[in-house]
DNA sequence: TAAGCTCACTTGTTATGACAAGTTGATCGC
DNA sequence: GCGATCAACTTGTCATAACAAGTGAGCTTA
């Protein structure tokens, strides 16, 4: 009938957060304080905190305390015509930068080969980038670029975003096919994106086609759910 | 340097799941078996299992055991022209049904009033529906319908989906503005959607406009991330 | 003053123990 | 044969205990 103790405690804290008792970035009571306030053991107090963390409402730092998750969300417009991520961030007053993690030619994995319409053994360029918004890690992008374009723009690709490079050299992206889904952070991603294990992440899986209908780039952008969302309109010619 | 014990164990199990040692729906070793296999306490074994659950890879049932999460994903196309959810499910061979949880006129909350372009005190119809896919809970939809349409189609709205009703009576939806984001299940939602606390959920927040550019429906579809994804194409006139 | 150290406080990891509660199959009694 | 009961196994909840490890303030010392 009545929920377990740790749920009662975390629900109470959740309501207090939503009511503004604890504001964004505020420090929550320590485990020891929760133990005394609710007369429970540390196990139960920890479980209550873990519930909040798993709901994305709080984040714990060893040695410092537990803090209400700051919610600063960036919107990326998916409506055509294609808007460049950097420009979209700039319009919202976000300082955007990226760190190149990997850039190297490899044999195409199965899914990339299928999406790009090439043989499985063919060469493609694997790109891994870490996107930063206002300095904080916001997304990881893993993509596969067809070999001829990778060869041609190799030095540029490590310093600039792919779509703008292509556009500036007369190879604009004509359209994208995309799937948006949602997943949980595994151990590696939780390290890159500075989120707890299991944190919700958005996955934007795309295949980009050049104007002659040839697929040129296939990849996934995996972003922090608390920092990123996608907007779209089915209105013809919507620009926002 | 080396990760804690519970991470090592859950990562090992994760690799085994991904390698197919444990297939979708298979039962994982019990906590007691993990304790013996890895020579750890129950706390550590439980933490390892909790890691898998928080990553959406497994689900635990009291009295039964821990099982690999069955992954059966349904895709909903967001490309215009608007496709009805029921039809999109049917095309993928999914039995779709919904349960009407709430249908009543209320004073418009702030966000609905803004989205629908009406005064805050105005009346709107609050609808809450639970969507089922192949019998299992898949999504919760909470929406606000403008009063005159609610009055007019009141009896129908409790049994049928809103967009088809409107379309059949000469009020087709012209276009949608939408935002796709991602959140974590709170205590209530975890009950409705039969997922663990903190499980990743997709949120599709929409405002629908009739052909005279009037906003008629505003709401959110909150769906299980392991059962639902959205597809879209920026290709002009894409139908799939 | 400035560098470094210590200490108090924080969360993280792990062990042991106990009872609650849900499931399932075997066994017993009719 | 069939239903009820029980025993074994499962995960869930909660307590006590100890040590590891990161942070930060304040003190000590050069």
C-alpha to C-alpha distance for A106 and A128, rounded to whole angstroms: 13
- End-to-end Cα distance, chain B: 48
Question: Model confidence over A214-234: pLDDT tens digits?
Answer: 999 999 999 999 888 888 877
ipTM of this predicted complex? 0.84
In this structure, are A108 and A169 located in the same domain? yes
Give the model's pLDDT for residue A71.
78
Domain final residue, candidates A68, A92, A123: A68
Residues 50-69 of A with CB under 7 A from strand D: 61-64
- DSSP label at residue A166: H
Q: Which helix (H) or strand (E) holds B146?
A: strand B136-146
Peptide bond into B81 cis (omega under 30): yes
Spatial contact of B209 and B116, defined as CB atoms under 8 Å apart = no
Residue B64 sits in a domain whose CATH number is 1.10.10.10
In this structure, are A139 and A179 located in the same domain? yes
Lowest-pLDDT choice from A191-205, A223-237, B59-73:
A223-237
- DSSP label at residue A169: T
The residue to which tokens 């059966």 are assigned: B72
Give the model's pLDDT for residue A76.
84
- Report the number of distinct structural domains present in chain B: 2
Question: Model confidence over B136-189: pLDDT tens digits?
Answer: 888 999 999 999 898 888 888 888 888 888 888 888 888 888 899 999 998 888
Whether chain B has a CB inside 8 Å of the CB on A188: the answer is no
In this structure, are A145 and A104 located in the same domain? yes
Give the model's pLDDT for residue A66.
95
Partners of B214 in the beta sheet? none
Residue B83 sits in a domain whose CATH number is 3.40.1410.10
In this structure, are A105 and A121 located in the same domain? yes
In this structure, are B50 and B162 located in the same domain? no
Give the model's pLDDT for residue A240.
35
Residue B41 (CA) to nucleotide C18 (C1'), in angstroms, measures 15
In this structure, are B117 and B189 located in the same domain? yes
Question: What's the rounded mean pLDDT across residues A131-140?
Answer: 87
Whether chain A has a CB inside 8 Å of the CB on B151: the answer is no
Peptide bond into A159 cis (omega under 30): no
In this structure, are A32 and A134 located in the same domain? no
In this structure, are B22 and B141 located in the same domain? no
Give the model's pLDDT for residue B57.
93
Q: Answer whether B55 sits within 8 Å of A234, measured CB to CB.
A: no
Give the model's pLDDT for residue B239.
33
Give the model's pLDDT for residue A145.
94
Average per-residue pLDDT in chain A?
88
Give the model's pLDDT for residue B238.
36
Give the model's pLDDT for residue A127.
94
Q: Which domain holds residue B215?
A: 74-231
Residue of A nearest to B56 (CA): A184
């Amino acid at each position: 009938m009545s929920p377990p103790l740790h749920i009662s405690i975390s629900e109470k804290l959740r309501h207090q957060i939503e009511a503004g008792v604890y504001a964004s970035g505020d420090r929550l009571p320590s485990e020891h304080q929760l133990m005394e306030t609710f007369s429970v053991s540390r196990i139960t107090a920890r479980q209550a905190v873990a519930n909040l963390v798993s709901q994305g409402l709080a984040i714990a730092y060893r040695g410092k305390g537990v803090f209400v998750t700051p919610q600063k969300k960036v919107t990326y417009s998916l409506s055509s015509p294609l808007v460049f991520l950097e420009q979209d961030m700039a319009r919202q007053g976000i300082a955007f930068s990226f760190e190149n993690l990997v850039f190297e030619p490899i044999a195409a994995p199965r899914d990339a080969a299928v999406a790009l319409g090439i043989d499985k053994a063919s060469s493609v360029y694997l790109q891994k980038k870490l996107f930063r918004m206002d300095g904080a890690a916001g997304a990881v992008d893993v993509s596969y670029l067809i070999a001829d374009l990778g060869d041609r723009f190799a030095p540029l690709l490590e310093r600039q975003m792919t779509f703008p490079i292509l556009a500036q050299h007369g190879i604009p992206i004509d359209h994208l096919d995309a799937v948006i889904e949602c997943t949980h952070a595994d151990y590696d991603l939780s390290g890159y994106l500075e989120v707890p294990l299991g944190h919700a992440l958005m996955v934007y899986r795309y295949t980009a086609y050049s104007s002659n209908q040839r697929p040129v780039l296939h990849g996934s952008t995996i972003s922090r759910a608390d920092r990123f969302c996608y907007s779209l309109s089915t209105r013809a010619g919507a620009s926002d």
